[in-house]
Structure formats: C-alpha cells, structure tokens
Amino acid sequence: MRALYPFKFKTIYKDKIWGGNKIKSYLHKDFSPLPNCGETWEVSGVKSDVSVVANGSMAGQSLASLLENYKDELVGEAVYRKFGNEFPLLIKFIDANDDLSIQVHPNDQLARERHNSFGKTEMWYVIQADEGASLITGFNQPLDEKIYLEKLNSGNLTDILNRESAQAGDIFFLPAGRVHTIGKGLLIAEIQQTSDITYRIYDFDRVDDKGNKRELHTEEALAAIDYTFYDTYKTIYSKKKDEPVEAVKSDYFITNVLDFTYSTGRDYSAIDSFVIHVCVEGAYKLYFGQEQLDVKMGDCVLIPANLDTIHMETSNGFKVLETYVPAFKN
C-alpha cells in the first residue's frame, strides 16, 4: 500500500437558516451556489457526510476507506482498538450570522441507547467576533428540572441561561449535557466527538423560507441536560507565544494552541493517535520527510499516527489548534 501523508479534505458546506458570509469573506472558502453558509465540515466520519481527500496521491479516497485500509497506521493502535472503523472526531467552522437555537447534546450512554451513536462533547475556539458578540453556555444559577421547565414553558428560558461575551481567542469547552448556543456575529472553529445529534430546546420562534418553524426536542432534551451550575464556563488558558499551550484536556480530545512567530518542529512519537491541525491564523509549510504541504488560515490537516515528526516553516507566524485523542505509547 502507498505510504500515508498529511491529508487535507474537500470542504463540506452546510446552508443554515442562521448562516452568513464569513466562510467566504474571512476564511476564503467559496460556498457558491449556496446563498449562505452556516457550517463547513472539514474532517468528518459522519456516515451521511464522509470527508474525501483533496490532496496528494490518494485524492478522491474517502476518510472511511482510508481508515478501513490503514487502520492503526492512520489513527493509532489505541484509538483503533477503541473506535475501530469509526473516526472519533468531527472538525467544523461555524459562521453565526444570527443566534443558533438553544440546544443540548446527549452523552455517550444516552446517545448509544437512543441513536446507536457517540455522544457530543465539543469545544469552540473563537476565530473572529463582531463587537458585542456573545454566546450562551450553561446556567446562571443553581436549579433543577422543575425550575427549568417552569422557565421554558413560560417563555422565559433565557432568564436562567449564562450569557458570555466572546472575543477572538476565547475558548469554551462544552461537555455533553450543557445547554448552549453560539450567538450572532461569531466565527468559530469547533472540535467535537463524531456525532450529529442535537436536541433543539428553543429557536426564538424563527421560521424558514416556507414559513415553518424548526422542530423542537423538548422531551428528548430533558434526559440529556446537566443542571450543574458553575462559577465560570470560559476556558482559562495561557495565551503564550512560541510554545505549545494545552487549552483543553478531556476524555475525548486534547487541544493545544500553537501560537508561533517562527518556524518550529513537532514530535508526535509519544502519542498513539492521529493529530489534526486547525489553522486559525497565518500560514506555514508543513514538512514531512522530503515532502511539504502548504497550510493557511481555514485549512485543516489530518496527520496520520505513523508520522512521528513534522516541521512547520513560517515567515509571518501562525496559530494552530493541535488536536488528538488522548492515547499515549508506553
């Protein structure tokens, strides 16, 4: 078989009622002929939308076929033992030209019972934010299901939700069960478990172009919601330059921020996992062996598990979300 190399995939564009134009104007991705674009799926193993390789000698092959053919060489021994031919992460860009619905996602157990699927724990990195932009994550007070239902049924749900201002560089980690929504004016990189299960709680009484309201999942959401109240919901991480900074560490993925002003190398020999680079600023040349790949803002690159070292050559700097599944070689 041919040797694996860092993969880019063809972008999958999603027309959404709340989508805008930043995917094109800011990330320079052409979503025509869609009227707008709310989401792009950049690395996806979701069966309805499997990513297809865009670069190199394996262009045209699907992520599913790569995984089936190369197994642990692509994703790592520990990852393959745990997930088999299911790719465990989904990478998106989201452009909220309007508020998304208030929603919640099930955890692994509930998603398996109801949908034979993974749950959906996710994280958001704010790439760009309009002045005054905000989002909702969690509750602003201790409460239980009774109080939640009283507020929901009286049309006052937002009274108990925690709204946070959001600026470029902010990170929010959202475990399954946390009520949330992305607010108007935000361009976000999202890293999540492979799942497309969303329970929509409230949609601001919006209608589509045919005058229809979107379906709500009030009953389904009740068993999924985590009512735990926290003092803070924003992820606090050190915004240092020129050294890797661990921003999110969970059972599902670890994400480091690489904010470098100069060229650097990365050694992945101790990690028994694939690595995904999500470039959110700048550009670099990714060198692997005698080959190279140009990477710029808006690009996502899947680095196979059997590639231990890379070099990132840059002239003007870059910022990358470096993500992998927490599995380490002994």
Closest CA to 199 of 185, 180, 172, 171: 180
3-state secondary structure of 77: helix
What's the chain's Rg over C-alpha atoms? Answer: 20
H helix or E strand, kind and range, residue 219: helix 218-222
Q: Assess whether 200 carries a catalytic annotation.
A: yes
Q: What is the b/e burial string over 261-279, where b = at least 16 CB atoms within 10 angstroms of the residue's CB?
A: eeebebebeebbbbbbbbb
Handedness of CA 37, 43, 47, 50 (dihedral sign): positive
The residue behind tokens 């880019």 is 8
**Do the Cβ atoms of 307 and 273 come closer than 8 Å?**
no
Out of 200, 206, 214, 266, pick the active-site residue: 200
- DSSP class per residue in 154-179: TT-GGGGEEEEE--TT-EEEE-TT--
The two structure tokens encoding residue 243: 């050294």
Closest CA to 278 of 25, 74, 79, 93: 93
Alpha-carbon gap, residue 249 to 259, rounded angstroms: 18
H helix or E strand, kind and range, residue 64: helix 63-70
User: Could you list the active site residues?
Assistant: 200
